């Protein structure tokens, strides 16, 4: 491995992953825009906002189509993962590990000036793993509740009679409150890390190119750099 | 010659404007005074002419048996028995205006029969309660009533909720008549209420399920939302509605399980929000610090 020449950049996201991401964020934005108007229906700008989306009926249609597209994208991603695994090209780089907790702790120490370097991050650091698994949380909580709300008559047969007095309020709260959580999360955490951070502003072009420069890799994901290009003893750079 | 012509045209023009002396009680005569008066007796001529009743030229159709010397000779009509009885029944509620408020039934007799059988009508006419609504409580002043399809109507599909809410939002009403407290609040925060608010034509208002002039108590078996009829009513939109499905909509206050789940979700959202904000802020400060004090370093 250490005999191989080090390339100037490496591919982190293949074309399929990039397309999945585009579908994911397009539907996410459409869902957020149309859903926001309904969540805050009694705030003044909402009616005008919904008119902008073609009225309540059209906004509802957009919301449903985008929701189903997003769910399909999510399901497709599971097949993509299985396929990656079968090709043998997949390492468990996204699975949360105890090291992530240590990394987070060390990162906070770095924030406070108690450590000189950022942690020895792997291919995906704990923030990126958080970002990735947040989508799963959203898919199960918001996706499932959205599906329930879209087909209330059918779904009501699945709920036991003793839950009828509260289950729909729970479903609505799940859908609406967790959607707000998802929006807030993307707007602050994802936007800061991938758009506003001074070294990536105005955006991290990886969503289009899928590629990361070796310098970036070495700096931000040193453990991955060492794994790919380091000496076999796996020592720190 | 020219002066003569001017004089004639002026005379003709004046004739055109002058109120006709024969039609003593027509709208123009009444509005001559009431159009410029202040307070409850004022009638806004412009708004009146644009209302559904604006074409009616005879004020005394409703304002029967006018009182006072100033109205002498303008109207001799006496209310018939239906109007007189109704006026007596609503007198406690309407005061001196009772006859005029009861006079709606002269033209709108079908609606009156429906209303009379409703829970509102029964409360007002039979129980002589001051709570229930008469026509004007929901429709507003007859001088300014707009068509139900008008945006300005107080009882169109989108505004009727607020009109019902004038009474049904009141706590003492729900206590006195035993309907669910928070009924308006629960409707407004529901998908039905929200969709209606943002202008969905298919979203149900109060009247879509409960009826309007024929509204009944939910305990009345003939009510569209009674236990017997609820499935049919919900199925108007939700085809295939079942017992289990329709049980979900009650307008009752939120169940504790739902309340605490929602609170837990809000706490979760706020915690994540706080965590990521702190994380991002610390990250920014560390970034600034590194740029200021570690200039010579290898990476940008």
Cα A81 from Cα A132, distance rounded (Å): 13
For the cut 80, the answer to whether the pLDDT of residue A128 exceeds it is yes
In a domain, A205, yes or no: no
Instruction: Please name the residue that has the structure tokens 């009501």.
Output: A156
Question: Is B52 within a domain?
Answer: no
pLDDT of residue B23: 41
* Count of domains for chain A: 1
Residue B35 Cα distances to B27, B45, B99, B186, B259, angstroms:
10, 6, 21, 43, 54
Say which of A41, A157, A192 has its CB closest to residue B244. A157
Preferred mutation among B190, B198, B232, B249 to probe A, highest tally of A CBs within 10 A: B198
pLDDT at B11: 57
Within a domain: A234 = no
Give per-residue pLDDT as tens, A214-224.
999 998 999 99
- A11 forms beta bridges with A211
- Cβ burial of B77 (10 Å; 0-12, 13-18, 19+) is middle
- Give a yes or no: residue B203 inside a domain: no
Query: Among the residues of chain B, which ranges form H helices?
Result: 2-17, 27-34, 45-50, 81-89, 91-94, 98-102, 104-107, 109-117, 119-121, 135-139, 160-168, 171-177, 183-189, 191-197, 206-210, 230-235, 243-246, 256-293
The radius of gyration of chain B from alpha carbons, rounded to an integer in Å, stands at: 30
Residue B237 has what pLDDT?
95
pLDDT score at A172: 95
Average pLDDT over residues A123-148: 93
User: A51: which chain B residues are within 8 Å (Cβ-Cβ)?
Assistant: 199
- Mean of pLDDT values over A188-209: 91
Residue A195 lies in a domain: no
Of B200, B245, B256, nearest to A156 by CB-CB distance is: B245
Domain of B264 in residue numbering reads as: 253-283
Q: What parts of chain B have a pLDDT lower than 50?
A: 18-23, 298-300
Contact check, Cβ <8 Å, A110/B286: yes
Give me the mean pLDDT over the A218-233 stretch.
Answer: 83
- Please report which confidence band the pLDDT of residue A236 belongs to, taking 50, 70 and 90 as the band edges: very low
In this structure, what are the phi and psi dihedrals at residue B42, rounded to the nearest 5 degrees? -75, 140
* Chain B residues close to A182, C-beta within 8 Å: none
Q: How far is CA A2 from CA A231, B68, B159, B201, in A?
A: 5, 111, 75, 68
Inside any domain, residue A157: no
The predicted structure's pLDDT at residue B91: 83
What mean pLDDT is reported for chain A? 91
Distance from CA of B299 to the nearest CA of A (A): 7
Task: Let me know: does B12 contact B4? Beta carbons within 8 Å.
Answer: no
pLDDT tens for B48-92 read 999 999 988 888 888 887 878 888 877 777 888 888 888 888 887
Q: CB distance B255–A199 less than 8 Å?
A: no
- The reported pLDDT for the residue numbered B25 is 65
pLDDT at B21: 41
Cross-chain Cβ contact B273/A184 below 8 Å: yes
Q: How confident is the model at residue A3 (pLDDT cuts 50, 70, 90)?
A: low
**Nearest CA to CA, how far is B89 from chain A (Å)?**
39
Interchain proximity B238–A189, CB inside 8 Å? no
The pLDDT of residue B70: 82
In-domain check, residue B116: no
Q: Does A107 reside within a domain?
A: no
Could you tell me if residue A187 is inside a domain? no
- What ipTM does the predicted assembly reach? 0.89
Q: Is residue B270 part of a domain?
A: yes
Tell me whether residues B242 and A157 touch, CB distance under 8 A: yes
Measured torsion, CA atoms of residues A153, A157, A162, A163, in degrees rounded to the nearest 10:
-60
Comparing A224 with A231, which gets the higher pLDDT?
Answer: A224
A119 within some domain: no
Specify the number of domains making up chain B. Answer: 1
Q: Other C-beta atoms within 10 Å of B151: how many?
A: 8
pLDDT at A139 over 70: yes
> Tell me, what's the pLDDT at A90?
76
Residue B61 lies in a domain: no
User: Considering the domain boundaries, does residue A42 fall inside one?
Assistant: yes
Q: Tell me what pLDDT residue A231 has.
A: 63
Range of the domain at A60: 1-90
The answer to whether the Cβ–Cβ distance between A156 and B248 falls below 8 Å is: yes
Contact B258 A60 (CB under 8 A): no
């Amino acid at each position: 491995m250490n005999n191989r020449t080090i390339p100037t950049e490496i591919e982190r996201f293949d074309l399929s992953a990039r397309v999945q991401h585009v579908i994911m964020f397009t539907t996410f934005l459409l869902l957020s825009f149309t859903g926001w108007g309904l969540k805050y229906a009694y705030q003044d700008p909402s009616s005008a906002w919904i008119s902008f989306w073609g009225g309540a009926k059209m906004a509802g249609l957009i919301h449903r189509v985008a929701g189903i597209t997003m769910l399909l994208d999510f399901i497709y991603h599971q097949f993509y993962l299985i396929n990656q695994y079968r090709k043998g090209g997949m390492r468990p780089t996204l699975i949360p590990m105890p090291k992530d907790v240590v990394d987070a702790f060390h990162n906070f120490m770095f924030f406070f000036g108690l450590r000189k370097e950022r942690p020895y991050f792997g291919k995906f650091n704990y923030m990126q793993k958080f970002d990735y698994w947040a989508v799963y949380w959203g898919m199960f909580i918001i996706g499932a509740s959205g599906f329930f709300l879209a087909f209330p008559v059918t779904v009501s047969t699945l709920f036991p009679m003793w839950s009828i007095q509260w289950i729909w309020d729970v479903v609505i709260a799940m859908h609406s409150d967790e959607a707000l959580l998802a929006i807030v999360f993307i707007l602050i955490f994802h936007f800061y890390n991938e758009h506003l951070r001074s070294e990536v502003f105005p955006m991290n072009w990886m969503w289009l190119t899928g590629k990361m420069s070796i310098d970036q890799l070495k700096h931000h994901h040193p453990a991955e750099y060492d794994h790919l290009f380091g000496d076999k003893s796996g020592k720190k750079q | 010659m020219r002066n003569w012509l001017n004089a004639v045209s002026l005379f003709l023009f004046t004739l055109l404007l002058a109120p006709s002396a024969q039609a003593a009680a027509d709208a123009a005569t009444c509005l001559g005074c009431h159009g410029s008066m202040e307070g409850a007796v004022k009638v806004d001529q412009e708004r009146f002419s644009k209302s559904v009743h604006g074409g009616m030229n005879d004020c005394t159709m409703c304002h029967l048996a006018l009182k006072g010397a100033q109205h002498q000779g303008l109207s001799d009509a006496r209310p018939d028995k239906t109007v007189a009885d109704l006026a007596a029944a609503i007198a406690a509620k309407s005061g001196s205006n009772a006859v005029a408020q009861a006079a709606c039934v002269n033209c709108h007799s079908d609606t009156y029969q429906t209303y009379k059988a409703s829970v509102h009508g029964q409360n007002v006419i039979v129980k002589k309660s001051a709570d229930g609504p008469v026509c004007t409580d929901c429709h507003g002043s007859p001088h300014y009533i707009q068509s139900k399809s008008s945006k300005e109507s107080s009882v169109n599909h989108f505004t009727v909720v607020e009109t019902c809410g004038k009474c049904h939002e009141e706590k003492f009403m729900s206590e006195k008549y035993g309907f669910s407290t928070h009924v308006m609040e629960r409707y407004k925060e529901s998908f039905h209420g929200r969709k209606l608010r943002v202008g969905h034509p298919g979203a149900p208002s109060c009247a879509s399920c409960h009826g309007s002039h024929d509204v009944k108590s939910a305990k009345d078996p003939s009510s569209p939302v009674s236990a017997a009829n609820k499935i049919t009513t919900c199925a108007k939109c939700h085809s295939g509605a079942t017992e289990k499905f329709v049980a979900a909509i009650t307008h009752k206050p939120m169940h504790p399980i739902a309340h605490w789940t929602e609170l837990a979700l809000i706490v979760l959202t706020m915690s994540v929000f706080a965590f990521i904000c702190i994380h991002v802020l610390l990250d920014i400060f560390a970034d600034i610090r590194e740029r200021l004090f570690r200039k010579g370093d290898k990476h940008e």
